[in-house]
Amino acid sequence: MKPSQNKTTTQPLMQMIDESIIKHINSGNYHISLLHLEQILHENGFLNHNYQIRHVQCLYYVKRYTEAIEYAQKYISEGNPSKDLTFLIGLSLYEIGQYYEAANIFRFNPRWELWYRKAYIMQAYPRNIINKKKIEFPVKSEPTWTQTDDSVTVVFPYPGLLKSEVTVDFYPESVDILIYRNEKQSFSHNIELNGAILTYTCSYSVNHDNLTLELVKVVKSKWPSLYYTDDIREKDYTIQAELQKINPVTTNLLEESEADAILACQKAQEQMFGPPEKRIQRYLKDKD
């Protein structure tokens, strides 16, 4: 009886998870669906064919193109016959600029003819005349942000920013951003967040006008602000006022420590040679 009971309880649970995955995919919350799928993969060690397609699809939509290609190739080699996986490989190759390889995938299916033409044109177009306009380096500015109970979207208005100039590191409660073109043109952002995030499901994207961060919250909630309010870097301190508070204390400590040191030396001398008057008498006696 126990195995049948486990089976009957597992089926509704998996159905609920499946419905949640589909719901979030249809609503564009690919990070949430990806989290469900990676949890299933971690617990079971495998995904069924439908889940494999959804897994690669979510990786593609969160712009993790290299991982999407790797997993799609893995699932195909393990026996998944779906052409959707091949199509997603082609899309991912196109997004990372591998137009020739993408065209070679799209050319074998008439349904993908439009994508084949796009990839063929892009790979044939002279790279050296794509963009001759000088790109101005962006000026550091503060972001705008929006949130849901599950996620946060942070947008930096950086027109002309190139993806190759951006490095983003996600940490459990902060995000480090480095914008670097050369030694003279660079700056960084450090965002101490108001809550914890799931680092492995966060992502960023760069288009012609914006740098966008997609953050996934650990706990469903509404953040009162993007920044952690107790972060000392966000507070306005007057250096001179702080020094005036510190200097008297430091002076007293130095004076006290100096007096203590003198007393300690005197005690050590008395222990070794006796009081000063006896030392003088001893000195005069030895001299005679």
Given a cut of 80, whether residue 246 has pLDDT beyond it is no
What residue type is assigned to position 2 of the chain?
A: K
| Both tokens assigned to 30 | 């690919």
pLDDT band at 85 (very low <50, low <70, confident <90, very high): very high
Tell me if residue 198 falls in helix, strand or coil.
coil
Yes or no: say if 170 and 199 are a contact pair by the CB < 8 Å rule. yes
- Of the two residues 37 and 251, the one the predictor is more confident about is 37
- Name residue 152's beta-bridge partners: 147, 215
Closest to 121 measured CA to CA, from 94, 83, 96: 94
The single-letter code of the amino acid at 185 is: Q
| DSSP β-bridge partners for residue 204 | 213
Please give the structure tokens belonging to residue 62: 């969160």
Question: Position of tokens 């779906």?
Answer: 82
Asked if 60 contacts 92 with a C-beta cutoff of 8 angstroms, the reply is: yes
Greater model confidence, 109 or 230: 109
pLDDT of residue 91: 92
Every domain of the chain with CATH number 2.60.40.790 lies at 144-216
Would you say 102 and 94 are in contact if contact means Cβ atoms under 8 Å apart? yes
The structure's pTM equals 0.43
pLDDT band at 227 (very low <50, low <70, confident <90, very high): confident
Domain 15-124 adopts which CATH fold?
1.25.40
Instruction: Check: CB of residue 90 under 8 Å from CB of residue 106.
Output: yes
Which amino acid does the sequence have at 165? E
Question: Which two three-digit tokens encode residue 201?
Answer: 């499901």
H or E element that contains 197: none
Read off the pLDDT band of 8 (50, 70, 90): very low
Give the pLDDT confidence score for residue 268 in this predicted structure. 66
Q: What is the CATH number of domain 144-216?
A: 2.60.40.790
Residue type at 224 in one-letter notation = P
CA angle 28, 30, 34 (to 5 degrees): 160
State the span(s) of the chain assigned CATH 1.25.40.10: 15-124
Compare 280 and 49 and report the one with higher pLDDT: 49
Q: What pLDDT band is residue 233 in, cutting at 50, 70 and 90?
A: very low
Between 266 and 148, name the one with better pLDDT. 148
Within 10 angstroms of residue 14's Cβ, the number of other Cβ atoms is 11
R_g of the chain computed on alpha carbons: 33
Question: Secondary structure of the chain: what % helix, strand, coil (to 5)?
Answer: 55, 15, 30
